[in-house]
Chain A
Amino acid sequence: MAPILSKERRDKQLIFVPGHLVDEIRDASYKAGKPFNVFVEEVFHQVLGSLSLGYSLEQFTRLLEVAHTQRLSMTLIPLEVLSYLTGKADQAELQAKWFEAGEWYGKYLCEKFQNPVQALKRLLEATRWDLDEIDVEEEDLVARFRCVSAILSLEETESLLKFIEGAMGSLGYRTEKNDHVKGIILLHFRHSKPTNRKGDT
Chain B
Amino acid sequence: MVKSGYKRKTFAASEDLLNQLSTIAESKGLSLYSLINQVFTLAIRAEELNVNLEKTVDESDVLEQAKDSGFILIPEGLWREAIEEIHLKDESWASRKGFEAGEWLAKRCTSKSLKDPLGTFLFNLERSLWNIPEFNVKREEKRFFVRLVSPRLSKTHATLIGSMLEGALHAFGYAVTSRDFSAGTAWLLAEKEGDGTNIE
Q: How far is the CA of A66 from the CA of B10 in the complex (A)?
A: 32
* Contact of B114 with A by CB under 8 A: no
B8 touches A2 (CB 8 A): no
A38 to chain B, nearest CB (A): 11
A76 touches B53 (CB 8 A): no
Q: How far is the CA of A77 from the CA of B77 in the complex (A)?
A: 13
Q: How far is the CA of A71 from the CA of B17 in the complex (A)?
A: 31
* Contact of A150 with B by CB under 8 A: no
A63 touches B56 (CB 8 A): yes
Please name the residue on chain A nearest to B68 by beta carbon. Answer: A129
A39 to chain B, nearest CB (A): 8
Residues of B within 8 A of A46 (CB): 53-54, 56-57
B96 to chain A, nearest CB (A): 9
* Contact of B51 with A by CB under 8 A: yes
A23 touches B97 (CB 8 A): no
Residues of A within 8 A of B93 (CB): 84, 88
Q: How far is the CA of A128 from the CA of B63 in the complex (A)?
A: 12
Interface SS, B side = helix
Residues of B within 8 A of A23 (CB): 4
A48 touches B73 (CB 8 A): no
Q: A13-B18, A73-B76, A76-B128 are in contact. Are A21 and B56 (CB under 8 A)?
A: no
A11 touches B37 (CB 8 A): no
Residues of B within 8 A of A89 (CB): 82, 85-86
Residues of A within 8 A of B1 (CB): none
Residues of B within 8 A of A80 (CB): 70, 97, 100-101, 104
Query: Which of A16, A27, A74, A97 is close to B9, meaning CB atoms less than 8 Å apart?
Result: A16
Please name the residue on chain B nearest to A126 by beta carbon. Answer: B73
Residues of B within 8 A of A97 (CB): 78, 81-82
A70 to chain B, nearest CB (A): 6
Q: A75-B131, A76-B66 are in contact. Are A15 and B36 (CB under 8 A)?
A: yes
Residues of B within 8 A of A42 (CB): 53-54
Q: How far is the CA of A108 from the CA of B32 in the complex (A)?
A: 36
Query: Which of B42, B75, B79 is close to A47, meaning CB atoms less than 8 Å apart?
Result: B42
B59 touches A70 (CB 8 A): yes
B40 touches A105 (CB 8 A): no
* Contact of B139 with A by CB under 8 A: no
Identify the stretch in A52-60, A133-141, A171-179, A189-197 within 8 Å (CB) of chain B at 4 or more residues. A52-60
A60 to chain B, nearest CB (A): 6
Residues of B within 8 A of A98 (CB): 78
Q: A17-B40, A46-B54 are in contact. Are A64 and B7 (CB under 8 A)?
A: no
Please name the residue on chain A nearest to B49 by beta carbon. Answer: A68
B70 to chain A, nearest CB (A): 5
* Contact of B149 with A by CB under 8 A: no
A75 touches B57 (CB 8 A): no
B175-189 vs A: 1/0 string, CB under 8 Å?
000000000000000
* Contact of A90 with B by CB under 8 A: yes
B39 touches A82 (CB 8 A): no
A-B contact pairs, 29 of them (CB 8 A): A11-B14, A11-B16, A12-B13, A12-B14, A14-B11, A15-B11, A15-B32, A16-B9, A21-B41, A22-B40, A40-B11, A44-B13, A44-B21, A46-B57, A57-B38, A61-B45, A64-B51, A66-B63, A67-B49, A70-B63, A74-B76, A76-B66, A76-B71, A76-B128, A81-B160, A85-B83, A88-B90, A100-B78, A112-B49
